[in-house]
Chains A and B, each alone.
Chain A
Amino acid sequence: MTRKTIWHFTFVSLIIGFMLAIQFQTSQEPDVRDTRDIWEIRRDLQKEQELHKQLLNEIRKYEETLEQYEQQRSENKGAILRQTVEELKKEAGLTEVVGEGIVLYIEQMYDESYVGPVSDTISADLLRRLINELNMYGAEHISIADQRLVNTTVIRDINGVTKVDSYPLRSFPIEIKVITPDAEKMYNRLKASTIADDFALENLLLTVSEPQQRVVISPYDGTVRVKRMEAVEEDRR
């Protein structure tokens, strides 16, 4: 046996020994034998069962909390819905509104020398023009002779009588209440507007009150009939 051969064998057996030792250690790892007797095992089992129970309790607790949160969330949803409904009702004019605003009066204007025919109503065109003007100046809620103006309100001439919805405007003065976020500004704009001249042409006098802190506008007393309307398909987010 040459020296080289011996070294080869030595090298190979060294590697084998190394691998053997590692394999031995790896497979010998769980070297703790279970030496518990039945009572000890029972005790340990009881301990584990208690732990199990505890964990179950915790799970239940967290589930309850989760449920509570869910409930609160859905209740909040309901509250938000109700709030939205209220807001929409307010916007639609189905509630009484109180706020800063101005009051306009329309009266007949005849001077001493007048001898022509006397009109006892205001033309629908002129009234619509006034309403448009008010809306242009930022009116939020308007009522004409305590008739609340809503989106479906019509102002029209029926057999010579101007009617707001179905309420006839027969007697002067006609009171128009307007609620607006900035009454002062509306007052000034109305003062500067030429609408009063248009009224004068029809022998009517438009008086604009000073801005008032508290104007009460009663709700719309009719029923809102929706003839054509459909829900918008909205993507769920």
Chain B
Amino acid sequence: MWLPLLGLLLGILLGLLTDWRIPSEYSSYLSIAVLAAFDTLIGGIRAHLQNIYDEHVFVSGFFFNIILATSLAFLGVHLGVDLYLAAVFAFGVRLFQNIAVIRRILLTKWLENRQKNRL
């Protein structure tokens, strides 16, 4: 359970230690990729809690979402339309929905546990 959190911390540490910087014109791509990755991660957690988790869907979704989001941003830059907003919007909405679902599931579980303990 703590291993993913450890991985996140390790990733941040690694990123800070390598001291990599990308050119500022590409930072929007990276931010949207981060958003897509977050979306996949939260979605994966939700699916796991709902017992519909499938590892193939999770891993393929992770990479596919990132690529789709960045290519959408790329297309937007070249068309002169802020298409990355579409990705931001879609991922943002889904992020909120998934987090809400996770919250409800956890809340339900917690309430059930409390009732069990009372009984």
Binding site for B on A (CB under 8 A): 1, 4-27, 29
Contacts and interface: CB of A to CB of B under 8 A. Distances in A.
Contacts of A14: 7-8, 10-11, 14
Contact of A25 (B10, B15, B41, B59): B15
A145 to B, nearest CB: 91
Contact of A13 (B1, B41, B53): B41
B16 to A, nearest CB: 5
Contact of B44 (A4, A9, A23, A29): A9
Given A19-B37, A20-B11, A13 B5 contact: yes
Q: Which of A1, A8, A16 counts the most chain B CB atoms within 10 A?
A: A16
Nearest to B23: A26
Interface string B39-67: 01100110010000101001100100000
A13 B15 contact: no
B81 interface: no
Interface string B16-42: 100111101001001101100110110
Interface residues of B, number: 37
Interface of B: 1, 3-16, 19-22, 24, 27, 30-31, 33-34, 37-38, 40-41, 44-45, 48, 53, 55, 58-59, 62
A9 B11 CA distance: 12
Contacts of B21: 22, 25-26, 29
B4 A9 contact: yes
Nearest to B11: A17
A74 B96 CA distance: 77
A20 B12 contact: yes
Contacts of B44: 8-9, 12
Contacts of A11: 7
Give the 8 A-B residue pairs with the shortest CB-CB distance, closest first.
A21-B15, A17-B11, A10-B7, A9-B4, A13-B8, A14-B7, A14-B11, A18-B11
Given A14-B7, A19-B15, A26-B24, A8 B58 contact: yes
Contacts of A16: 8, 11, 34, 37-38, 41
Contacts of B48: 1, 5
Given A8-B59, A26-B22, A21 B11 contact: yes
12 contacts: A6-B3, A7-B3, A8-B58, A9-B4, A9-B44, A13-B8, A14-B14, A16-B8, A19-B30, A20-B34, A26-B24, A29-B24
